[in-house]
Amino acid sequence: MLTRYIHRSGRFEGQEGGKLARLARFKKARVVTDKDGKKSIVMPAKSEDDIQISIIKWAVLQKYKGRTLDYYIVHVPNGGYRKGREGAKLKRMGVQAGYPDLILDIPKGGYHGLRIELKKPKGSVTRDNQKQRIAALIDEGYYAEVCKGFQDTTQTIKRYMAGELLITDKQGEYCD
């Protein structure tokens, strides 16, 4: 149980001090307490890129079969606009618009893996090609969904890894 967070020095104290001390080196990391008294780490970010970086840094602290979870989470750089030769080359290499941002290739709960299309908590719209890709991945046996922000994404990953997401659970619920 976390007993105290010292903001000025960026140090954490308490039983989870080691884990949280490592987290303290990440920019803007802070601890919040929910209504039930449970403490969690919040890493606010302005852009989808910043949120995704925070998620990968969070994954560095999660253990799975002797490795850290970031070993299994991959980002394919399908997003963003690229001009001319670079864009054409990437397209020939297989880059496709609409593919989810994060890929977790660990089978759990009857799924082949997890695919997450990451959005900012406010003001983001899921494009039609993203909705179509998510639907296709669901049809192929993946758990695929749109997550808004750091908290939603890390909660989805935790629930997936715990085997709590069932075939009947929400997928693509946040699609606009």
- 61 versus 83: which is more confidently predicted? 61
Long-range contacts made by residues 135-138, C-beta under 8 angstroms, separation at least 24?
A: 135/172, 137/100, 138/171, 138/172
How far apart, in whole angstroms, are the C-alpha atoms of residue 56 and residue 155?
14
Task: Tell me the whole-structure pTM to 2 decimals.
Answer: 0.70
- 83 versus 147: which is more confidently predicted? 147
pLDDT of 160 reads 96
- 116 versus 17: which is more confidently predicted? 116
pLDDT of 133 reads 94
CB distance 40 to 31 below 8 Å:
yes
**What torsion, rounded to 10 degrees, do the Cα atoms 99, 100, 101, 105 define?**
-110
Is the pLDDT score of 4 beyond 50?
Answer: no
pLDDT of 10 reads 42
Mean pLDDT is lowest, of 17-26, 35-44, 92-101, 130-139, for 17-26
> Among candidates 46, 94, 100, which has minimal Cα distance to 74?
100
**Segment 150-167, tens digit of pLDDT:** 999 999 999 999 999 876
* Range among 4-18, 31-45, 69-83, 149-163 rated most confident: 149-163
pLDDT of 174 reads 44
pLDDT of 37 reads 76
> What is the average per-residue pLDDT within 138-151?
94
